[in-house]
Structure 1
């Protein structure tokens, strides 16, 4: 089954033996990934995102998904 529009790729929330642990681990990783970077890095990303016509969040998401700068 394919996730619908707006799905964030998180773990399924159906009840199974390890669901609560996976949800906890996923939330912790999500918070860590979106932690605010140092000011200089955030400003550099914002400037680059504006050059590309993207939002800061979209640009940061591209970095996280690809593991490199677009």
Structure 2
């Protein structure tokens, strides 16, 4: 009663190769984001990172995560792990 002929909701089987594709997609996206930027952009980020008291990697990670350039006066975001 009430069955509409759709797929079962508790079907835990994944199609073959799904995990491989997801892994490939994540690796490709990671490589695209972290590719080496042009020299001028890298130097710009390095100067801004030093002014904000961050390493180049931290600065770039925050830039990619939030979509905005970290500033010297920004306060670091606290995660739930830091509160414990």
Q: TM-score normalised by the shorter chain: which range applies?
A: 0.7 to 0.9
- Could you report, residue by residue, the CA deviation over 1:6-65 in whole angstroms, capped at 9, with x for unpaired residues? xxxxxxxxxx43110000000000000000111000000000000111000000000100
- In structure 1, the partner of 2:24 is 24
What TM-score, normalized by structure 1, do the two folds share?
A: 0.75
Unaligned runs of 5+ in 2: 1-13, 71-84
- In structure 2, the partner of 1:10 is none
The number of residues matched between the two structures is 55
What TM-score, normalized by structure 2, do the two folds share?
A: 0.63
Give the Cα separation in 1 of the matches to 2:53 and 2:62: 13
Are 1:39 and 2:62 matched, yes or no? Answer: no
Unaligned runs of 5+ in 1: 1-15
SS of residue paired to 1:61: helix
- In structure 1, the partner of 2:5 is none
Are 1:59 and 2:59 matched, yes or no? Answer: yes
Structure 1: 4+ residue segments shifted above 4 A: none
- In structure 1, the partner of 2:69 is 69
